[in-house]
Amino acid sequence: MIIAIVTLGTAKAFAQPLNITPLPKQVEMRAEPATFRLPSKYTIATQGSMDSRTMEDVKRFMEQMQLSTGCRGKLKDGAKCDILLTVDPSFEEEGYQLKVEPRQVTLRFATAAGCYYGLQSLRKMMPGHVVLGKPGPKKADYSIPCLTITDAPRFGYRGFMLDVSRHFFPVDDIKHVLDIMAVYKMNRFHWHLTDDQGWRIEIKKYPKLTEIGSVSEDMLMNDETRTKYWYGKPYGPFFYTQEDVRDIVQYAAERHIEIIPEVDMPGHMMAAIAAYPEFSCHPDRTYKVWKENPGLSVDILNVSNPKAVQFARDVVEELCQMFPGPEIHIGGDECPIMQWENSDACKAMKEQLALPTFRALQSWFIGEMAKVAAAHGKGLFAWNESITSEGSDLAPLQQAGVKIMCWVGAQAAARKATSHGLTSIITPIGPYYINRKQWNSEDEPFAAGPGNDSLSVTYNYEPVPETDITPQMASLYKGVQATFWTEFVATRSYLEYLMLPRLLAVAEAGWTPKEKKNFPDFVRRFNADRELLDAGGYNYGKHYIYK
């Protein structure tokens, strides 16, 4: 009886080519095609010293498999089992080997992350509802092809940034994003929490940040059904409580995603300054949270005011307490410094610190924030203007080992960063700014850009220069990130329409060896993943869907 089922499964599984995105490093199909069918009662055994984190993940895997397939897993001792998990310290940090044979699946890995990604690959060969851990048919044939996958990511940092300031996305929307990131083995969620249009995170020491800073008197909206319309009433209060943050941090951690929270300073701070005008360069003025999109305010933090700097330190301190991950982000992009140049107090500070330029005040400020993060054992990220703006001073950033997120002139910025020993993450405006219009046609909804940042452009972008960098510099290109600004994106549906499928292209850039990448095959896998995206209720761009 069992043999008959295996044989039946064989033909079906081999009718379709493998559908795992990001494409693994190495896949060997068996010479004799066959399948493994998940039994309705299956056993999992472990070998080697499995840590508690791995065991939690394995239990969650069994719970989700039961919900999705009705198949019940049980842990047992000894190697005679359906799924054998083996700790093997010789594997890379996030690497694994998944061997599927007709009667047993074996998974080898060194770390909890390796085990998790191996199980993700196993699930990715099943229907979409199983991949997503959603309920589905209970008596179906959950078979996967026999093969051996030997896998590890190209980069340790595979990120997605979401701006929740320009428009706010509730906890459930964030979880929906984290779910799809996990399917595609992305491991960093960079959360852009503050900007001119809204302060979106509760800071206990400064309650007005959210009482005042999370509400604008109106808001310019945009989505795929209507171009630019006014909300027509106060937008907010919209922010995440510290309770929400804990919930999201936990949800992300279960998916092996670290959160990198960003508070953008010392520019892009209108929402904070509206709440605490005393920290601006003109404390006598009144300020409003911005309702216009896009835009960039000249009103910035007054770094010559010790109370303003202490405010920034206190905010970073609370972030470090709230977020357990190894890094936080201080922003540092697009900061016009006219107000510093026209301020006697800033002039005096520049002289006192013997700084060559006013811009170096920003470098000093970033160095101060890095000290707060370091006191919590954390590193600091900043946008590339922190080293590429004219007059910036690299010394405080080098001292603190600040990591550079390269977006504008991304490659030149990364060269500068890595030639000075600083780590870079590549997220170029254009190919990796996946809030931009993805297709150049009349009926495309309004978004940033002319419409030439298509899936193919995103996919074919190579993040690391192929010549003219030293091996030492090359080793500092630590990863890639898809970045999503929401000036023109006010709804979950429109967010997903622009984000998908380009997020998958960046996920593959982050994971798959560059010599294995192949756009037509990627498009084929994306087409196969429509079933998954539909099962998860995701909206996505249809431009590369086969007719």
Nearer to ligand ACM by C-beta: 158 or 436? 436
For 15, phi and psi rounded to 5 degrees?
-70, -25
Nearer to ligand ACM by C-beta: 179 or 334? 334
Could you tell me how far CA 19 lies from the centroid of its own chain? 22
CA–CA distances in Å: residue 425 to residues 157, 372, 406, 464: 8, 22, 6, 10
Q: What dihedral do alpha carbons 104, 8, 522, 190 form, nearest 10°?
A: -50
Nearer to ligand ACM by C-beta: 235 or 407? 407
Q: Which of 195, 262, 393, 496 is catalytic?
A: 195
* Tally of CA atoms within 13 A in the half-sphere of 453 that contains its CB: 25
Both tokens assigned to 38? 């998940």
Nearest approach in angstroms of CB 332 to ligand ACM is: 9
Q: Which residue is nearest to ligand ACM (CB)?
A: 333
* Tally of CA atoms within 13 A in the half-sphere of 481 that contains its CB: 27
Helix (H) or strand (E) holding 36: strand 35-37
Q: Does 383 bind ligand ACM (CB under 6 A)?
A: yes
Looking at 317, 333, 487, 496, which residue binds ligand ACM (CB under 6 A)? Answer: 333
Nearer to ligand ACM by C-beta: 349 or 405? 405
Both tokens assigned to 329? 């982000």
Q: Does 526 bind ligand ACM (CB under 6 A)?
A: no
Please work out the total of residues on this chain that contact ligand ACM, with binding judged by CB under 6 A.
Answer: 4
Nearest approach in angstroms of CB 427 to ligand ACM is: 8
Nearer to ligand ACM by C-beta: 22 or 332? 332
Q: Does 334 bind ligand ACM (CB under 6 A)?
A: yes
Active site residue 195: yes
Sign for the CA dihedral angle at 371, 372, 376, 380 comes to: negative
Nearest approach in angstroms of CB 485 to ligand ACM is: 6
Both tokens assigned to 459? 């996919």
Q: Which of 192, 256, 268, 329 is catalytic?
A: 268
Active site residue 268: yes
Nearest approach in angstroms of CB 335 to ligand ACM is: 10
Active site residue 529: no
Both tokens assigned to 484? 């999503």
Nearest approach in angstroms of CB 412 to ligand ACM is: 15
Nearer to ligand ACM by C-beta: 318 or 333? 333
Is there a contact between 462 and 449 (Cβ–Cβ < 8 Å)? no
CA–CA distances in Å: residue 433 to residues 5, 409, 515: 47, 13, 24
Pairing label, strands 379-383, 477-484? unpaired
Pairing label, strands 147-151, 157-163? unpaired
Q: Which of 88, 179, 314, 334 is catalytic?
A: 334
Nearest approach in angstroms of CB 406 to ligand ACM is: 10
393-412 residues in contact with ligand ACM (CB under 6 A) are 407
Look at residues 286, 279, 338 and name the one whose alpha carbon lies nearest to residue 309: 279
| Footprint of ligand ACM (CB under 6 A) | 333-334, 383, 407
| Positions marked catalytic | 195, 268, 334
